[in-house]
Each structure stands twice: as C-alpha cells, then as structure tokens.
Chains A and B, each alone.
Chain A
C-alpha cells in the first residue's frame, strides 16, 4: 500500500490532486471481506475515464457481486508520474491505494487506439512487465476489454486474456472462476484454459476463434443508479441514461454502428425509473441520454415527456445529444433551452452521402435547418469527414455550399442577430467491422490539401473551421487495422516517449514513425487498401455482423446505392444471431 505521508507531500506539487484520491460520493464498500480484488483501469486521465459509462457499469457491477471488491485506477498526468518516480511510488488504486501486485485481476478498458501507449505507461508505473509471457505467478492477471477489442491483435501480447464484447455478460463469471481456481490452487495457465471456454473470452496464448459476448436483454441488464459523483470536474459531469445499444442506420464508415449490434432498447418505464433514481442518488444538475442515435428510440416522445416532467420537478437540465438530421423532431426540442444545433451530414454532396449510406437528403438538410433557424437557433455546428472513399473536389465544395446555405437561410429571415457556424472535419479512418474496412486512407499530403482548401473557402464572417490532426489520424488508422507484429511498435513508441497520444499537445508523429521503422514495419501496409481476399487480423472474432454482409455493403457503396434503416425491415447483417434486435 502506498505510504500516505509520502503521497501527501507530492500531491501539493501536482496539478488537480483530487484526481488521485478517490473519496467520491456513493463509494461502495471496498473494505468488505472478499475472495477476489479487481482493479479496473482506464488508460487516460481521471476526468476522461470517470466519464466512461462502460467503466461505470462494470465497476458497480463487480462491487455488487458477492465476494468481489473492485477499485479504480487512471493514467496519472505526466507531472504526477514524474513525482511518483522521484519518490519511488508505484501506481496505486484510488480506493485503498494498493499497488497492482496487491490485486488478483487488473482490467484495462480501452476505447481508443491512441490509448495503447498509455496502457504500457500504466504498467510501467506499476512495475509490471509489458508482455504477458514475462509475467509469472507473482503478478496479477492483466486483462483488457472495451470497444478496441473489435481488433485486439496489436495489443494482444500484453494481456493474459481479452474480453470481447459486453462486460456485463461475462466479467463477473470470469472473476468468480478465477477465485475458484485460486482456491483449488490451479496455475495461471490452467485458469486461462478454463476461462477461454467462457463466452467472449479470448486468451492470446491459446488462440482460436471467439464470439463477441452480447447482453441478450438490455432492459433487464445491470445498470447502476447509485453511481460515483466526483468532487472535481470531469469531462461528462452528469447522469447518463443509456437508451439502447446498436444503431439501425448503417453508415458505412461507422464502427460503433456495427460493433454494438444487435439493436436492443430499454423500455420507457425502465428508463424513467432509472432516471428518477439517478436524479435523487447523484444530485447531478444535468441528465443526458446516451445512444448512437437518440432520435431513433422507438418511444422518444413518451420518454422525453416523462423525463422532462421529472427533470423540471428537480431543477435538472435534460441534455439531448446525437441527433440525426433525417429524424429531427422539432416539436420535441422546441422548448429545450439550447440555442445551438448540431448536425452531422458527414459529406458535402448527396452522391457521397449515398456512398457512405448517410441517409440524409438535401431536402432533409434544408428542412431541418429552416426549422431550426425559425426557432431562433444562433449557433450551428456542422460535422463532416474528409477523405471518404470516392471523394472528389465537388464533395469538398459541397461542404462549403452547405455552410453558405445556412448563411443564406439566415439572411433571408432578416434576423438582426448574427449566426455562428462551426464546421469541423475529421479524417476518414478505415476501421475493422465496417464495410470500408478494406479501404485505403488518403495520404497525409491529400489530407493537408483538403484541409487547406476548406480553410481558404470557409474564411467567412462568423464561420469557424476546425479540423482533426492529420498525422494522428494516420497512426490511429495503422493501429486500428494492426496485427500481432504491432505490439513491438507500441512498446518502442512508448519507450521513446509516446504517451497520451490522444491529447494533441502530447502526440508525436515522428516518434511513432521512428518506432515503426525500428521494428521494420511500414505503416503504409496498414493504411493502404487491403485486398478483399486477404485474411484480416480480426477475422478470428465473430462479431455477429458477417463479412459477406460487409462486402455486400461495400459493393452497394461503390454503386452509390443506399441501404435503408433496418428498424422497419431487417437487412440481414448477421448480428441477430448474437441476440435478437428490437426485443
């Protein structure tokens, strides 16, 4: 356990010391007698990790499991890491300040490829070897889960086991099995052999195929309402209600859409009950709704009406994110106080929107914007992607045209108030488990050229243009479709100073390229087009959605044919076999 006196001294020398202390409201009893002590880690700072709904669910779920105590650990900021090293303090958990070696299981939740070096950073601070093969019985079991497990190949060698899919299904069973094997005196390898038979558990040292674990009935799934309320500010400092998982829209670049299928909703009554409990248990002044496409929730009107009543009664603000243009329901949002509107047309022309299956027509954009402007919206945020397959100059020009359309519509209304337009572009990154998983990413020079064009054309009054870092997008793409050889690259990148790569100010492209070179690997192998018949690094995972469906969608993309939303009629993506869509 970390010496409190030494810790006390360094806390005053670091930024935001509250990050490292825990002590939040609603803390579970972590001193109870237990058979198994687990530490859930998030490979980013406290304020980012504490905002993660997946980590929140699993943390409380494990603490509500008999015989199990679960604690948390986040990546300390660089200033804290320096002080810890100076004072020989190893990475410690927030609840009881135990080191990694005092736990039975360490579980990393990884949601973003650029967090990979942070996993090694945390292991390094904890004093544990990076590679699973180098960790003997004196070390805890180190496992990983989270959305990046759609392709765990690049990081597989670092972990004893990988949980593919939704942790509610098998994490508690995995932990209990470990406790049982520990009692029986079984070795780590013997335990892993048994664990590999659990649904969704992949053991890299054993290999084989694995089927993604999926919650069959989301309505009845574990969902904590007595959640931790941090004292210091975090990124999403509010209660969050999860409406459903999966997305029916099938935008062809979107990994989340396919990864979280089958589509499973919670019932309105369940959500209203959970909202009521969250409001009273947390004291949060804001409640937000989480899903991939909130406006597709089958009873959105009923839900929002019920939530508004409860929220108004308790002086709680209701936040409504993730709106799709085509189902924008003005009447619902009419009386919400936000005077800003966020739209994500993703592409500038109808042609390209058809290619990516963003089922939003020019007419929808016009009517949605008109309706928003009628209501006096004064801030419009528009999100697009550049570098999408088949993109031409006309498509880029289309982005500028949409911005000009907003200005024109506003001017026609003769409003004296100015309208602020924020345009943001991300670079297309081909991701596993999408119909575009075989596509090439455009070159850095092309990214810069496209960004320069938009910078020039969007130099308009009250229009602000921001863009994602091109270089970070290249490394993200290389890691997203990476294979087992990349663990050496990640290790080299970390050892040469790469950490907090998802933070712009920390990302160092040259070090990453040097790490690839050092390992004799060309990143272009991963960012270029992949032949359709080539075996993919993630083919060993049965994610539900089939490869043949993705190929069919890819063909339709190149033919410019859209695939309708699957709410009305199943498109046969294959996810149904993991659990029924639309229970």
Chain B
C-alpha cells in the first residue's frame, strides 16, 4: 500500500470529493503505477481516502491510499508530483503493509482561517460554554445542531483563527461552523479556510495521521 499526503489548494479546492478522487486515480495511471483493480464486471482502481472537504475549503494534508505493491518512497513521491495537477501535489509518501484505514482512524482536523479583519478573542469563549448551537444544512433543510463537544480548540491570532475540530464519524462541517462565528464578528467563508493536518486519537492524545503510518 502506498499513502500520499497531498494538498488540495487553488483551483483544486473547488473540485468535489468524487472529482478529486478521479484526478488522483488518473495521476496514478499517468505514473504508470501498478495498482490493484477490483475483479468485478467493471474493474475499478482500489484506493482509499479520508473525510471529504466542503467545496472551496483548501487543505495541506489530504491522505490518499492506493493498493499497490510498489516500494521506494522518494521515487514514488517524485513520480506522483510529476503527474499530479499543481493544486494536488504531495509532500509525503509512505509505503505501508496494509490499509491504514485512515477514514475510520481520523477523528480531528486542524484548520487555519484567514479573516477579513482582526478576530476578537471573544470567539474563544465558545470553549467555556456548555452548549454551542449552530445552523447546519442537512439534506436541503437548515437545522439547529449542538456541536460543543466537536470543538477541541479555538484560538484567535490577529486576523487568523486556528481550530481543532471533530472529523470523521462525528464530523463537524468546518464551513458551517465558521459561518456561525459571524455572531463573534468573524468574517470568513469556505475559501478562507485551510485544513492543516488530520489527527487520529492514540491513548487519548491527538496524533497527526502521518505519524500513525510509521
């Protein structure tokens, strides 16, 4: 198995999850990388990924896993980057024995939000609240949802905001959350957000996903 940590920036941030998956699979094909295919009537490349990003949100740490027997991490990384579009290049390649199942293991993501103006530290008061209710669209209907337990950290720094939010099965949609912060004077939308890293929980601690590949 090969794991790539790649970015999704610039134009690529506007690709849907399914489109991005296709781009990555075509990158593997251009690399002429040997990847296992399913054995059904219409064979498809066996690949895995983590929780999709909302449209417009950028990322420096997306994980893409391909079922391949290839080895040689440095060479694979160079080949991947020669064949990937500019907005989806990788900065890390790891060869692992079996599927690390990152989709199940990733429980949090860190984000940086660049706002139109300085962010008041008042926004950090959310961490002291018992409950935090925000609006979220679910199947075309806007609902009030309580998400306090999904917010692990929140820090204002000048016009930037750093956050660690729940990802995966207990996902907190980062764009909806940032929109809800308008009540604290935060002026930002999806394309002002960058996912910095994804984390797994190991012994109650958040560990960067790249670390659990070792």
| Cβ–Cβ contact A24 & B85, under 8 A | yes
Rounded to whole angstroms, the CA-CA distance of A338 and B86 in the bound complex is 35
Q: Which residues of A contact B (CB under 8 A)?
A: 8-9, 11-12, 17-18, 21-25, 229, 231-233, 280-285, 314-315, 337
| Cβ–Cβ contact A18 & B29, under 8 A | no
Residue in A closest to B26 when the chains form the complex, CB atoms: A283
| Cβ–Cβ contact A18 & B11, under 8 A | yes
- Is B106 an interface residue when CB atoms closer than 8 A count as contact? no
Tell me which residues across on chain B come within 8 A of A11, comparing CB atoms. Answer: 14, 56, 191
| Cβ–Cβ contact A337 & B26, under 8 A | no
Interface of B is mostly: helix
| Cβ–Cβ contact A18 & B14, under 8 A | yes
Count chain B residues whose beta carbon lies closer than 8 angstroms to a beta carbon of A: 32
Tell me which residues across on chain B come within 8 A of A22, comparing CB atoms. Answer: 11
| Cβ–Cβ contact A285 & B29, under 8 A | yes
25 pairs across A/B with beta carbons < 8 Å?
A9-B189, A11-B56, A17-B14, A18-B14, A18-B16, A18-B19, A21-B11, A21-B14, A23-B86, A229-B26, A231-B11, A231-B12, A231-B15, A231-B19, A231-B23, A283-B28, A283-B29, A283-B83, A284-B26, A285-B25, A285-B26, A285-B29, A314-B29, A315-B37, A315-B43
Interface residues of B in 49-75 (CB under 8 A from A): 55-56
Tell me which residues across on chain B come within 8 A of A280, comparing CB atoms. Answer: 30, 32
Interface of A is mostly: loop
| Cβ–Cβ contact B10 & A233, under 8 A | no
Residue in B closest to A281 when the chains form the complex, CB atoms: B30
Interface residues of B in 1-57 (CB under 8 A from A): 10-12, 14-16, 19-20, 22-23, 25-30, 32, 37, 41-43, 45, 55-56
- Is B108 an interface residue when CB atoms closer than 8 A count as contact? no
A343 CB, min distance to chain B CBs, angstroms: 24
Residue in B closest to A315 when the chains form the complex, CB atoms: B37
Pairs A-B, 5 closest by C-beta atoms: A23-B11, A283-B26, A283-B29, A283-B30, A21-B11
Interface residues of B in 176-191 (CB under 8 A from A): 189-191
Rounded to whole angstroms, the CA-CA distance of A17 and B19 in the bound complex is 12
Tell me which residues across on chain B come within 8 A of A282, comparing CB atoms. Answer: 26, 30
Rounded to whole angstroms, the CA-CA distance of A285 and B47 in the bound complex is 15
Tell me which residues across on chain A come within 8 A of B15, comparing CB atoms. Answer: 18, 231-232
Rounded to whole angstroms, the CA-CA distance of A25 and B86 in the bound complex is 8
- Is B87 an interface residue when CB atoms closer than 8 A count as contact? yes
Tell me which residues across on chain B come within 8 A of A315, comparing CB atoms. Answer: 29, 37, 43, 45
A94 CB, min distance to chain B CBs, angstroms: 9
Tell me which residues across on chain B come within 8 A of A17, comparing CB atoms. Answer: 14, 55-56
Residue in A closest to B18 when the chains form the complex, CB atoms: A233
Rounded to whole angstroms, the CA-CA distance of A22 and B84 in the bound complex is 15
Given known A-B contacts A229-B26, A282-B26, A282-B30, A25 and B85 have beta carbons under 8 A apart: yes
B26 CB, min distance to chain A CBs, angstroms: 3
Residue in A closest to B85 when the chains form the complex, CB atoms: A25
B100 CB, min distance to chain A CBs, angstroms: 24
Rounded to whole angstroms, the CA-CA distance of A407 and B55 in the bound complex is 48
Rounded to whole angstroms, the CA-CA distance of A438 and B23 in the bound complex is 49
Given known A-B contacts A18-B15, A283-B29, A8 and B23 have beta carbons under 8 A apart: no
| Cβ–Cβ contact A12 & B12, under 8 A | no
Interface residues of B in 104-159 (CB under 8 A from A): none
Rounded to whole angstroms, the CA-CA distance of A232 and B15 in the bound complex is 6
Tell me which residues across on chain A come within 8 A of B26, comparing CB atoms. Answer: 25, 229, 282-285
Starting from the known contacts A12-B55, A314-B29, 19 additional A-B residue pairs (CB-CB under 8 Å) come to: A11-B56, A11-B191, A18-B15, A18-B19, A21-B14, A23-B11, A23-B85, A23-B86, A23-B87, A24-B85, A25-B26, A25-B83, A231-B20, A232-B16, A233-B22, A283-B25, A283-B83, A315-B29, A337-B42
